[in-house]
Amino acid sequence: MFDFIFGIINLPVIIPSPALSSIYSLSECKENYCQLVLIWAVSMASHGPWWRLPIRRRQGVNLRGREAVAVGFKRSVLCLDYLAIKSKSDSLSELLLSVCSVDLLSNKTGQNRLEHHTDLYHGNELIIRRGQTFLMELDLSRPFNSKIDKLHLDLRTGPRPAVSKNTHVLIPLVEELQDERWEAKIVEQNSNRIKLSVNSDPKAVIGRYKLTVTVSCPNGKAATTHDPSKDIIMLFNPWCEDDTVYMDDEEERKEYVLNDTGRLYYGTEKQIGARTWNYGQFHEGILDACLYVLDKTEMLPSARGDSVNVVRVLSAMINSPDDSGVLAGNWSGNYAGGVSPTAWSGSVDILKKYSQEGGMPVKYGQCWVFSGVTTTVLRCLGIPCRSVTNFQSAHDTDVSLTTDVYFDENMEPINHLNTDSVWNFHVWNDCWMARPDLPPGIGGWQAVDSTPQETSHGRFRCGPASLTAIRTGQVYLKYDTPFVFAEVNSDKIYWQKNRDGTFRQIHIEKKAVGHYISTKAVGSDERTDITHLYKHAEGSEEERIAVETASRYGSKPDMYSTSKVDVTVEVNLEGEGPRMGADAQLTIVVTNLSSQPRSATLHSQVAVMYYTGVLKGTVKKEKLSVELMPNEVMFDSLSLSDVGSHSTVTVTEQFIPTQAGPRKLVAALDCKQLTQVHGVADIVVKD
- State the catalytic residues: 367, 426, 449
Query: Cα(483)–Cα(565) distance, rounded to whole angstroms?
Result: 26
- Confirm or deny that 489 is annotated as ligand binding: yes
Does the annotation flag 237 for ligand binding? no
Contacts of the segment 494-503: beta carbons below 8 A, 24+ positions apart: 494/405, 494/407, 495/404, 495/405, 495/406, 495/407, 496/406, 496/407, 496/408, 496/409, 496/411, 497/406, 497/407, 497/408, 497/409, 497/414, 498/409, 499/409, 503/406
Instruction: Kindly state the DSSP code that residue 56 receives in the 8-state scheme.
Output: -
Residue 560 backbone phi and psi in degrees, to 5: -100, 20
Q: How far apart are CA 402 and CA 398, in angstroms?
A: 9
Residue 586 · residue 578 · CB < 8 Å: no
Which residues are CB-neighbours of 542 under 8 A, at least 6 positions away? 536
Q: Is 543 annotated as a binding residue?
A: yes
Task: Quote the CA–CA distance of 540 and 536 in Å, as a whole number.
Answer: 7
Q: How far apart are CA 679 and CA 278, in angstroms?
A: 12
What is the C-alpha separation between 378 and 385, in angstroms, rounded?
6
251 is in an annotated binding site: no
C-beta pairs of 53-56 under 8 Å, 24+ apart in sequence: 53/11, 53/13, 53/17, 54/12, 54/13, 54/14, 54/15, 55/11, 55/12, 56/11, 56/12, 56/14
Sequence-ordered list of residues with C-beta below 8 angstroms from that of 361, at least 6 positions apart, any chain:
320, 324, 325, 326, 327, 328, 354
Q: Is 461 helix (H, G, I), strand (E, B) or coil?
A: coil
**Could you give the CA distance from residue 616 to residue 619 in angstroms, rounded to a whole number?**
10
Rounded Cα gap, residues 340 and 666, in angstroms: 16
The whole-angstrom separation of Cα 417 and Cα 607 is: 18
CA angle 640–645–646, rounded 5-degree value: 135
Rounded CA Rg of the chain: 37
Q: Measure the CA–CA gap between 379 and 371, rounded to whole angstroms.
A: 12
The annotated binding site for Ca(2+) is made up of 489, 491, 538, 543
The annotated binding site is made up of 489, 491, 538, 543
